[in-house]
Structure 1
């Protein structure tokens, strides 16, 4: 298949125009990044978004690899002298790797099989005769002609068995048969799990005697069963009704099958086809489940990264602990570390009075407005302590429980050691907790995305695919928000479109050596930041206090001339950008007519107008701010029907975990999210959402709380 055919296939699969696919692939091959193409090449792609571009990239790469495999298979079969025009055409027309491998299966080199041994004994002609003969007595007489003790064929029965082995293997290697059985197993099969030891207690007890249709089984249950099997607690198999399959296999024979052919068909299915197809179907279930789990993780991560910052606030970060004490870090409104300390308000020390005085002294010394408390070990005891202390401060102070997942990973990292060489890991963790409240994106990019705690069965999926997906999400989020080049860390800068880790360090070094960047043009002086890198990254880098007001917008310098024309048409100057008069004139524009006058595309002009209306805007500001608290909640305080507000911490296949101020998050099951049927919890909530919930059950012993997003009066609380 040539490139044009590949473009057509991808376009058909993704419901796009062939020209969109072709242009997108060409732009990628020219070295353009996906964030850059999505933002600054809308006219050429027909305004495809990042998700569509990544789908094009992934599918085109798949087809390219498929093409290479086709060439290899054609060569291998041709080397055997068995390539026919019909087979070559089937190979050329394949669009799936599985379909291609099915076609190659009969020609694949094998270890010794029962069929190959039978062929060595000269029984292949008998196998062909079995397809032609119909009278069973005649078949047995014919088989006796193949008795050859020197070759190990001592009886007619042995000859017949060898011939049936040959037919069973040929039948099992028929591509159409395999495709039909695979599809039938997918549509009608059941995944069945049993306990290896029914008396053993484990987290997999619901799967000790369990079955569910293959094609309906949700990803979290597939991955749970897989883990149970891997830990040798469960035995798992896929069952299917065999009779329809055997009837379909018997149709493969050229005439009405006699007893021997029926036996060959049954042997072919049970010994060769069924085990192979079961593995393939189970693998397909796992792949689908992994894709869903990775998708959920990626969506959760994106929403976590895009949590609104709390700028302009001095924060006290608290990393709770028992024996080693709670580490404190005061950071100013720019994230600069001002003070570190440690207190011991929790067991076993219980130095409550001394700890209280230390915190009050800090609140008196610094204009702290918010306390950020990590949600790890001793979090709720620390929360109770802090809630009591801030009541004694003679000004309003709130606290927030911050998801500290990954903070310990960061604090022990090389990056953290470079940032704070004089601090131990625990104190670095307190700084990270404070900063991730001020600007979640800037802090979370320093942590391996797999460590941020918003996944589902993340250790049970392909780590390579997970890592690629999460890296794409971080890159997308960073470029969506934009980066202040004068404050960003190398960890943040390296996710900017086109910027490598070494270029990110060079940007920071140049900033430290020469001083703040005053214009985007100055970035051309950064070592190794060449013309192509500049083109890719510059629209995503902001200079908030430079000489050109356009440098703090997402408008690309290549469009500055368009802005100049636009302002001339409006009768405005660059200094008037952001004023009410300028905004009013921008809103009154006819975009289509103005695009023609400015000689630019409508999508680009639309983006320019949006940027000029709100220069320096942070898109995260439109999201709900974190939920601030001033008092503590205990599980004993809860009662069924109680109405609370909480923050969505994690979204999974079966619901959402909501932080309502307790040690453990409460669960809103998918069935309690809406009066309407909910197929996917992400259709209703996302990580970071502030939601109203009602308590529907409380298990004090296990510290579990069931929540509903439906008012309790609409619930059945039997």
Structure 2
């Protein structure tokens, strides 16, 4: 364990004692949010990012140690352990290195090399390699058998014996861990990933055409961006593309390849026209072509996929975090509209607490075209319930429904004017409806709204997403929220683990109202399982609102450990103790009592008094259990009690008259919402049914390596329209508002052709680029969503 702690400390760049304490806490059942927030003293201030990394690496390194012990035991049992091998196994830093070292000792099916060794040919192989001046045919005569072996093994000719020499040497070299690792690293640095269309596939087939960029493609494998790697692997899986690992330079016919040259160099052998050199050269070629080329390709493809998946999962996780921590509209009455054409627009009104109070269905679009009737119905609902916010799903007929909402706002203003009342400020917002249908059909939705039609539940969910995105989106499987790239192509268990961690961190960073939170939201709180969350809600329903955090101890199944892990993240507004609405943990209430005694002010008067609190010296209130770091956190909480770390709610205002891609004109300045972010650029919802792309080179006047340095999902930004291709639904945008639109009469810059959604523009990202290429990039991206 000390070895693991030492390695973790080196990787995360912290002290060993910090790692040891964190590991002990994790092993004791503490959660990452709890350790990051309430155990800073003992971990030396490790944050949630460091702790997540530590948690993941701890699991890997423990598996590595278990595998190391198993391999050592196996080799010792075979009686083949040497001091040098033991040292090599001890220092192996990855599972791959361990398996490379173990390869010669693995139990495997009977190989040609083993058969030749059993026939006694190994001494000949050793002799010829050690002394190439010997004549192979002459030396082989002594090893020729008079007849076939019992198992049909045939070494009755000189050529068969020499083939046995080849099998022995090539198998030995292919199991040389140093050689294998040398070749693998060389090809990762210099080899090429190549792909081409499978000849039997029709390139005009729409499903095949999606992969047109990879019909004749090659790129250094170690530098292939995540999105391109996953695109090639997807095309390969669909049997549309052939993909292979290619050498940096293909050999001339009859000449040895660069890989064979590196094998020879590793072996310390070179061709010197000695009698056995031709045979050894054939053994070297056989080692590469038969033994190592395919296995090396398999290993490097696995590495490429693993690294590509890590990037894709990180992109999904980052976008999910931004979406979950988007600005809440707060306690406002919201009208939710789930757009539809023939089936109508589903309508739901939720009150300030998120409770569904009324539903309806209107038919403003084809085939009924009941625009006026729809406005009348919606107007009555708004007047009846005091609606001041309209949420519109971004699915089919979203833009048409957005126009309906605009007319509704005008109607409400007219109604107020006629009644001689001040106009109510009603705003409309287009929101992502990703995952709403999944929620509508879920068991929890049926429990929340048992007598409501499935289609209408989606409208309620859309409305609640504005009030509190976090509280609503936690009800949905994170993978169904749809802010990732290639999410179905990556390791699903790792994706789920990462996304669950993101949700847990987001929920606990914001805090949860104990008296209003749903079961799904409570179950994401540190320490609370789904069963305990249900028990909390049952207690609340039976006994009324919680008056204090201490009442949690009355909940069945919630013991002292669970209370310790969860209490600090649960909020009670208007309870018996004002501290219960803050992030101050109950275990530190005695510290607050010392502060009260020092200041002579009750806690209610202390809260929010920033100047007074900043004048206090934290070291005066520290003790053996809770030091200065914890006291500083307590004072910070008292300064801004119950603060929400999320930004203020803002609404993007789409331009009137810009309802469709056909309405866009180059040079227009528009406001939009960032709908998704990848390393190579950001996608902007302009309210025209088709997201536009701001390539990373157009995000800022300064060099930008990753789009997330500038924008995140949910941001409201101003963009300039640089190019519009209506036929191919391509919109190129720029956040450099002084940028000039694309020249249509100028030469086309083809360097960026082939970049698509989920693909990074190659080469220097902030070079001047043709805006036509940027629009092309976005459209091709649709094939990968």
Mark yes or no: TM-score above 0.5: yes
Kept in 2, the 8 Å contact 1:565–1:598? The answer is no
Matches within 5 A, 1:416-427: 416-427=445-456
Distance of aligned partners of 1:172 and 1:337 in 2 relative to their CA distance in 1, 3 Å threshold: same
Mapped partners of 1:478, 1:539: distance in 2: 12
TM-score normalised according to structure 2 size: 0.88
User: Is residue 200 of structure 2 the alignment partner of residue 175 of structure 1?
Assistant: no
- Deviation of 1:511 (Å): 0.6
Distance of aligned partners of 1:584 and 1:348 in 2 relative to their CA distance in 1, 3 Å threshold: same
- Deviation of 1:692 (Å): 1.5
Distance of aligned partners of 1:189 and 1:669 in 2 relative to their CA distance in 1, 3 Å threshold: same
User: Is residue 278 of structure 2 the alignment partner of residue 249 of structure 1?
Assistant: no
Structure 2 residue aligned with 1:559:
588
Q: Secondary structure at the match of 1:702?
A: coil
Distance of aligned partners of 1:172 and 1:381 in 2 relative to their CA distance in 1, 3 Å threshold: same
Mapped partners of 2:655, 2:232: distance in 1: 43
Q: Deviations over 1:364-383 (max 9, x none)?
A: 22211111010112211211
Structure 2 residue aligned with 1:686:
712
Structure 1 residue aligned with 2:115:
117
Structure 2 residue aligned with 1:711:
737
Structure 1 residue aligned with 2:650:
625
- Deviation of 1:203 (Å): 0.4
RMSD over equivalenced CA pairs, Å: 1.7
Mapped partners of 1:650, 1:691: distance in 2: 13
Kept in 2, the 8 Å contact 1:562–1:598? The answer is no
User: Is residue 229 of structure 2 the alignment partner of residue 222 of structure 1?
Assistant: yes
Matches within 5 A, 1:510-525: 510-525=539-554
Kept in 2, the 8 Å contact 1:127–1:166? The answer is yes
Q: Secondary structure at the match of 1:251?
A: helix
Q: Deviations over 1:341-362 (max 9, x none)?
A: 0001111222222212111222
TM-score normalised according to structure 1 size: 0.96
User: Is residue 217 of structure 2 the alignment partner of residue 210 of structure 1?
Assistant: yes
Of 547, 555, 558 in structure 2, the residue corresponding to residue 529 of structure 1 is: 558
Structure 2 residue aligned with 1:293:
312
Of 524, 531, 537 in structure 2, the residue corresponding to residue 495 of structure 1 is: 524
Kept in 2, the 8 Å contact 1:646–1:692? The answer is yes
Q: Deviations over 1:409-439 (max 9, x none)?
A: 0000000001111011110000000001101
Structure 1 residue aligned with 2:328:
309
Kept in 2, the 8 Å contact 1:399–1:630? The answer is no
**Worse-superposed segment, 558-567 or 517-526:** 558-567
Structure 2 residue aligned with 1:374:
393
Q: Secondary structure at the match of 1:393?
A: helix
Q: Secondary structure at the match of 1:713?
A: coil
- Deviation of 1:68 (Å): 1.0
Structure 1 residue aligned with 2:57:
59
Structure 2 residue aligned with 1:266:
285
Mapped partners of 2:624, 2:27: distance in 1: 30
Report the number of matched residues: 711
Structure 1, gaps ≥5 residues long: none
Q: Deviations over 1:429-482 (max 9, x none)?
A: 000000011010110000000011111100000000000000000000000000
Mapped partners of 1:598, 1:276: distance in 2: 58
Mapped partners of 1:434, 1:452: distance in 2: 16
Mapped partners of 1:92, 1:703: distance in 2: 57
Kept in 2, the 8 Å contact 1:383–1:632? The answer is no
- Deviation of 1:132 (Å): 2.3
Structure 2 residue aligned with 1:236:
243
Of 186, 189, 192 in structure 2, the residue corresponding to residue 187 of structure 1 is: 189
Structure 1 residue aligned with 2:764:
none
Mapped partners of 2:696, 2:146: distance in 1: 69
Mapped partners of 1:597, 1:163: distance in 2: 75
Distance of aligned partners of 1:95 and 1:333 in 2 relative to their CA distance in 1, 3 Å threshold: same
Matches within 5 A, 1:2-401: 3-136=1-134, 138-151=135-148, 152-197=154-199, 199-201=202-204, 202-241=209-248, 243-253=257-267, 256=270, 258-394=277-413, 395=423, 396-401=425-430
Q: Secondary structure at the match of 1:31?
A: coil
- Deviation of 1:121 (Å): 3.0
Q: Secondary structure at the match of 1:430?
A: helix
Q: Secondary structure at the match of 1:176?
A: helix
Q: Secondary structure at the match of 2:412?
A: coil
Matches within 5 A, 1:667-686: 667-686=693-712
Kept in 1, the 8 Å contact 2:393–2:462? The answer is yes
Distance of aligned partners of 1:188 and 1:623 in 2 relative to their CA distance in 1, 3 Å threshold: farther
Q: Secondary structure at the match of 1:368?
A: coil
Distance of aligned partners of 1:154 and 1:313 in 2 relative to their CA distance in 1, 3 Å threshold: same
- Deviation of 1:630 (Å): 8.6
Mapped partners of 1:716, 1:639: distance in 2: 12
**Worse-superposed segment, 108-117 or 6-15:** 108-117
Kept in 2, the 8 Å contact 1:399–1:629? The answer is no
Q: Deviations over 1:651-700 (max 9, x none)?
A: 12321111122212211112211223322111111111111211111122
**Worse-superposed segment, 646-655 or 219-228:** 646-655
**Worse-superposed segment, 673-682 or 401-410:** 673-682
- Deviation of 1:407 (Å): 0.3
Q: Deviations over 1:128-174 (max 9, x none)?
A: 111222225x3220112211141312321221111011100100100
Mapped partners of 1:339, 1:387: distance in 2: 21
Q: Secondary structure at the match of 1:191?
A: strand
Structure 1 residue aligned with 2:614:
587
Kept in 2, the 8 Å contact 1:648–1:687? The answer is yes
Mapped partners of 2:358, 2:442: distance in 1: 21
User: Is residue 573 of structure 2 the alignment partner of residue 570 of structure 1?
Assistant: no
Kept in 1, the 8 Å contact 2:654–2:686? The answer is no
- Deviation of 1:715 (Å): 6.1
Kept in 1, the 8 Å contact 2:657–2:663? The answer is no
Distance of aligned partners of 1:256 and 1:701 in 2 relative to their CA distance in 1, 3 Å threshold: closer
**Worse-superposed segment, 493-502 or 319-328:** 319-328
Mapped partners of 2:270, 2:364: distance in 1: 85
Q: Secondary structure at the match of 1:691?
A: strand
